[in-house]
Amino acid sequence: MFHSGLLPGVVAALCLTGVSGAALAAPPAPAAEQERHFTPDERTNIAVYEAVNRSVANINTKATVPSGLFLLEVPSEGAGSGIVLDTSGHVLTNFHVVENAKEIQVLLYDGSSHQATLIGADPATDVAVIRVAAPPEVLVPVTFGSSSDLRVGQRVFAIGNPFGLERTLTTGIISSLNRSLPTRTGRTIKSIIQTDAAINPGNSGGPLLDSASRLIGMNTAIASRTGQSAGVGFAIPVGTLGRIVPQLIGKGKVVRPDAGITRVYQTDRGLLVAALAPEGPAERAGVHGFRVIRERRRQGPFIADFERVDRTGADVIVAVAGQPVKTADDFLSVIDAHNPGDQVLFTVEREGHRLDVPVILDAEQ
């Protein structure tokens, strides 16, 4: 006997209109009709996530830390995120995610876990490349975009593993460009992207994407007093990554150019050259630094050796490659934009005159 839970009159009315009990559940809407339920913004969100989430890895590490007289291996669950670069298994992440790690485990989108090895690292920019021995079919490389034409207000997307929650999508805008971010090595990373997309612990090393699902940066830090997202996140631009990553894969490190200037003093006019590396590029080119003058003086029955520093003939660097430099960081940023072997013009003030000195850069040792 059929029990509908409805009054007999209601059942009769439904039958009279040709609606049976089996027809009460509406059939699924066609895919095109379902798509109409999403706004254009929602469709963009979905498209970016579906295109890139398989390119994001979850990185867990074990590090050795001192504890009294012993060294303990401490797991760091959900340590950070990574970006799959190619089907050979290279994965991009932050150096601080894998720093001092004795063991690195990478969890891919299909749930498979693989041990990784460190291929190369650049602490000066907080960038590292690791490699996993995973089948090519589970390695989905990200598509590189450009960071040279970004605009404040542009919509961006971050995918990562905040608090170990795999492949989480957050959205926001570019809040500012050309920020500077100091690193523990004393250098400053230039052209940093600032975003209000939520970035939390575990997002480090994950991708920052544009609306075309292209990589425009790698999330690296947040400004927060609590350690959680406060709406101010930072990403290393893909232009910087494009210069660093090939060197890390090929050489294991970044070979930077060196001008052979070891110490400068900041002045109102520019950088006063204090010391040069012996036989270095700047000295070979004729750049002048402080002169150490050695003298012998008689003191009673003894003859003593003295040294004094003559600063009068030292050059003041006012520009490098046509770009004004006022701080040591300005100087390093211009030099780092070149390669070993490049010739760079140093504009200096010497004894009241301004002249250009061509300097051929060496490789930093």
Going from the C-alpha of 38 to that of each of 33, 43, 74, 173, the distances in angstroms are: 10, 6, 45, 21
Known catalytic residue at 37? no
Distant-in-sequence, close-in-space partners of 142: CB < 8 Å, separation ≥ 6 = 52, 55, 83, 84, 85, 207, 215
Known catalytic residue at 86? no
Q: What is the largest CA-CA distance in the chain?
A: 131
Helix-strand-coil split of the chain, %, nearest 5: 20, 45, 35
Q: Coil, strand, or helix at residue 77?
A: strand
Known catalytic residue at 288? no
Distant-in-sequence, close-in-space partners of 333: CB < 8 Å, separation ≥ 6 = 188, 190
Residue with tokens 């090519």, as numbered in its chain: 136
What does residue 138 show for φ and ψ, rounded to 5 degrees? -105, 5
Q: Which of 90, 114, 126, 330 is catalytic?
A: 126
Q: Which of 191, 204, 213, 333 is catalytic?
A: 204
Q: Which of 96, 122, 213, 336 is catalytic?
A: 96
Going from the C-alpha of 263 to that of each of 189, 260, 273, 318, 328, the distances in angstroms are: 20, 9, 7, 15, 9
Distant-in-sequence, close-in-space partners of 166: CB < 8 Å, separation ≥ 6 = 58, 107
List residues with catalytic annotation.
96, 126, 204
